[in-house]
Structures are given as structure tokens and as C-alpha cells.
């Protein structure tokens, strides 16, 4: 096997096509089991969660077969948010946590994300070792050492109770009307329950999954659905999650959207004022807006940039001892509370800011003026490498020189989808449009 299995967030692809096949899931389960059971002892356990995609049943069963064949005991959580898997892996002393989800992708896709015993996503090095085991002959356990599998009923309840503890004081949401859009995904039970138990009047949206409608015209990538509900019901806030609830977009009472950059700016400012922001820094990716960097600088705070992917944000946070980071796309990582992005807990922290300041959401959602930014995606074909084209390189070089001093350009291949992402920022919006369209045209021609 020469193809690379792992992308920026685990293994992902179209269901029933390589690598998202039952056969590959079985091999991945067996390889992960062998990797984490190298001491040969019995008693090792793994927790498996999933979102609401139909293909989750297939992959769950295949992973379970592979894991038990190498002696791992499997605890099946059913549909739970990705951050719940990180939390429960550590809480339940599991050796591995696995989340079956393609996050914000459409229902026909799926993915497999691995967490280590500390609840954090695996490193590149660990993923490379697992891939090497997949490519080799995996030694099964002896018959007497085959693992067991069982469904557990209290995993979701444990996460719900924990999420509530991250909000400062029960009952403070009394009198607040909150729309929560669960994207017909993994948080369709947990998120409304947490908000209701904390005292809010809850307007649930996207809570009727059927295996095919996850992220379909709802959730953090389609905030117009939550915006309409906020306005229609006269809600005080909208919380829009993605399919596995590790991303969030916040909407104020008018339906205006705050992306991850604005949410992180609010949290960083408040935490710095309270002496809670470790290292006086926020960790974000190269995609975060230049306006965020300027906002932090004006307050004596730093923006530490990483490659795209919440896993790389977390790695930098852990290496530098920082406790706040995330992505413009809505991953908000608060290591005081969670090991990965947690959209629900981020929403609770925004509600805490409203409760503590007495301000409406509209006074909090825009912390800084964004520098005009444009992102366009170009779908690629198998076997094509448009960014290696001399013509594309020449166009990128020319436009980089043109925009120098006024903004920046970022072109990259997506780690989760067959896309080339062309992003630029520039205070001259006419120039911004010309630059992005010029590069997109060159990439499309190369494809």
C-alpha cells in the first residue's frame, strides 16, 4: 500500500470507496489495536463514538471486529460529539478513542479519528506507525485473548453532566431563548439537553437525523438556517454546530454570524483581563484573519499561527503551554475544558460572557474589523497536481508580488477533501477579487 491513509484529521473519504471501506476499517481497527496493545496484556479498552451517517453502522462493526481480533475490549458509545470521545477516552481510562465522522462533510462521506489515552488526537508519528502496521501482516490475538464488545448507555450522560460543569453557575440561562442547530448530527441529543438543564428556553434545529441529512442545509456551514430560526423566534442567541459538534458558529439576536476568529478574540480578551490566558497568546492557523492578529497586538497579546488543522493547533498549545486556540472555521480549543474543539462548550462560554457582562449577543459578536478575505475552492481530479504546474506557480508568484504590503495569499491542498483552497486578504477589495480569480483560473486550467 503506497497511498497515504491519514489526512489532517484522521482518515476520510467517500463511504464504501477507498479508504472508507469495511475492509479498510477492519484493518485500521486491528492495526490500532496492535499498536496500543504492544505489551500483550489483556484488559485494554477502546471507546468508539460516531455521528449520524448511515455508513457509521458499517464502519463501527468493522472497526469492532478488527479491534477485538487483536484483544481490545470495545465500548460502543453510539452517536456522541467528537469532544465527548476525547473526554470519555481519558475519563474511562481507555487506551484508544475512535470517532467515526466526516465532520462538516456531506452524508456520503465518512471518517475515522483516533485519540490516545490522554484524550488528545494522535500525532503524525503515531498515525504513520499505524499505517505501517496496516501495510504489514497483523498478528491476531490467541483465541482465549480475543476482546469483547458491548454498548454502554451512560457515555452521553457523562458528557452532558461534564459540559454543564464548564458553565459558571446553574440557572443563569433562565430567561434566555437560545436556538441550537445540531446539523442533524452527533449533538442532536446532547446540546439541547445541556442548554435546557442550565435554564434556557431552547429552540432546537437539525435534531431529526435520518442517516442522510447530516449537514444538509443546516449546521455551522449553513448558518442561514439558524439565522432564520433566531429571527423567527426572537431568540437571544444562536449556536450552530457541525456534524460532529467540534465546530461552532455563534449568531446574535439579529442573525449576524460570528466565526471562529471573532469568538476567539472575545475569549482571549476576557481571559487576558481575568489573568487566565496562559502565555498571553492565542494559537490559530494561517487561515485566521489579519484583523484578529491586529486586535490581539493592540492588547499586548500574541497570535501564534500553525498549519491548518485543529490537531496542529492543539500540538502548538501543548508545546507552548497555551490554553486557548482554534480555527476561523469554528474549532475553538480550550484545554482548560477539553482536549479538542468543542462547539457546545464554546457556546456555553459565549453565553457566560453574556450573563457576566449583561450585554446582548450583538455587542459581543464583532470584536474587530476583519480585513476583506476571500476563499475559493477548486475541485481536483485524481492524479492531478495543479500546484506543481509551472504556469500556476508563475501566476501565484506574480500575484504575490502585486499584493505585497497590502495583504497576503495562501494556497493549499485540503487535507480532508479533493480541493485546492485559494485564500487571499487585501484591504483593496477590487484587487482582492482580481487576485483570487486570477489564481483560481490558473488552477482550474491546470486541473
Question: How many Cα atoms are found within 13 Å in the side-chain-facing hemisphere of 441?
Answer: 9
Task: Reply yes or no: is the peptide bond before residue 19 cis, omega within 30 of 0.
Answer: yes
| Active-site residue, from 103, 269, 288, 329 | 103
Distance of CA 88 to the CA centre of its chain: 17
Q: What CA–CA distance (Å, rounded) separates 157 from 402?
A: 55
Q: What CA–CA distance (Å, rounded) separates 247 from 153?
A: 25
Distance of CA 263 to the CA centre of its chain: 15
- Closest alpha carbon to 292 in 318, 337, 258, 316: 258
Q: What CA–CA distance (Å, rounded) separates 331 from 343?
A: 7
Helices 260-273 and 343-357, axial angle in degrees (round to 10): 50
Q: What CA–CA distance (Å, rounded) separates 413 from 294?
A: 27
174 labelled catalytic: no
Cα distances (Å, whole numbers) of residue 443 to 139, 380, 385, 392, 421: 45, 9, 9, 6, 10
Q: Active-site residue numbers? A: 103
Amino acid at each position: 500500500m503506497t497511498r497515504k491513509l491519514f489526512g489532517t484529521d484522521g482518515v476520510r473519504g467517500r463511504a464504501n470507496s477507498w479508504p472508507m471501506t469495511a475492509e479498510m476499517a477492519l484493518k485500521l481497527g486491528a492495526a490500532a489495536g496492535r499498536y496500543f496493545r504492544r505489551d500483550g496484556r489483556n484488559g485494554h479498552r477502546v471507546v468508539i463514538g460516531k455521528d449520524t451517517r448511515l455508513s457509521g453502522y458499517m464502519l463501527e462493526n468493522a472497526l469492532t471486529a478488527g479491534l477485538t481480533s487483536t484483544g481490545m475490549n470495545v465500548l460502543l458509545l453510539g452517536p456522541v460529539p467528537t469532544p465527548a470521545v476525547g473526554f470519555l477516552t481519558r475519563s474511562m481510562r481507555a487506551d484508544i478513542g475512535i470517532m467515526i465522522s466526516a465532520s462538516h462533510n456531506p452524508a456520503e462521506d465518512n471518517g475515522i479519528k483516533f485519540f490516545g489515552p490522554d484524550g488528545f488526537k494522535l500525532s503524525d508519528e503515531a498515525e504513520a506507525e499505524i499505517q505501517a502496521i496496516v501495510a504489514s501482516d497483523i498478528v491476531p490475538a490467541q483465541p482465549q485473548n480475543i476482546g469483547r464488545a458491548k454498548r454502554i448507555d451512560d457515555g452521553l450522560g457523562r458528557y452532558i453532566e461534564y459540559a454543564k460543569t464548564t458553565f459558571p453557575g446553574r440557572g443563569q440561562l433562565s430567561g434566555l431563548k437560545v436556538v441550537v442547530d445540531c446539523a442533524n448530527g452527533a449533538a442532536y441529543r446532547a446540546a439541547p439537553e445541556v442548554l435546557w438543564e442550565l435554564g434556557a428556553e431552547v429552540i432546537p434545529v437539525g435534531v431529526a437525523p435520518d442517516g442522510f441529512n447530516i449537514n444538509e442545509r443546516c449546521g455551522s456551514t449553513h448558518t442561514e438556517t439558524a439565522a432564520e430560526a433566531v429571527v423567527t423566534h426572537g431568540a437571544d442567541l444562536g449556536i450552530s454546530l457541525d456534524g460532529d459538534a467540534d465546530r461552532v458558529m455563534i449568531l446574535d439576536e439579529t442573525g449576524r454570524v460570528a466565526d471562529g476568529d471573532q469568538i476567539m478574540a472575545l475569549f482571549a480578551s476576557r481571559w487576558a483581563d481575568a489573568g487566565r490566558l496562559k502565555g498571553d497568546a492565542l494559537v490559530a492557523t494561517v487561515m485566521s484573519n489579519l484583523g484578529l492578529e491586529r486586535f490581539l497586538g493592540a492588547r499586548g497579546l500574541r497570535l501564534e499561527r500553525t498549519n491548518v488543522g485543529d490537531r496542529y493547533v492543539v500540538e502548538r498549545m501543548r508545546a507552548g503551554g497555551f490554553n486557548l486556540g482554534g480555527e476561523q472555521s469554528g474549532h475553538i480549543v480550550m484545554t482548560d475544558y477539553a482536549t479538542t474543539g468543542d462547539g457546545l462548550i464554546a457556546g456555553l462560554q459565549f453565553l457566560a460572557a453574556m450573563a457576566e457582562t449583561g450585554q446582548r449577543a450583538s455587542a459581543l459578536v464583532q470584536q474587530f474589523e476583519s480585513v476583506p478575505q476571500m476563499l475559493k475552492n477548486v475541485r481536483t481530479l485524481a492524479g492531478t497536481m495543479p500546484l506543481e504546474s509551472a504556469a500556476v506557480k508563475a501566476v501565484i508568484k506574480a500575484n504575490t508580488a502585486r499584493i505585497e504590503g497590502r495583504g497576503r495569499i495562501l494556497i493549499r491542498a485540503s487535507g480532508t477533501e479533493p480541493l485546492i483552497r485559494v485564500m487571499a486578504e487585501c484591504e483593496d477589495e477590487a484587487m482582492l477579487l482580481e487576485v483570487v480569480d486570477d489564481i483560481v483560473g490558473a488552477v482550474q486550467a491546470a486541473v
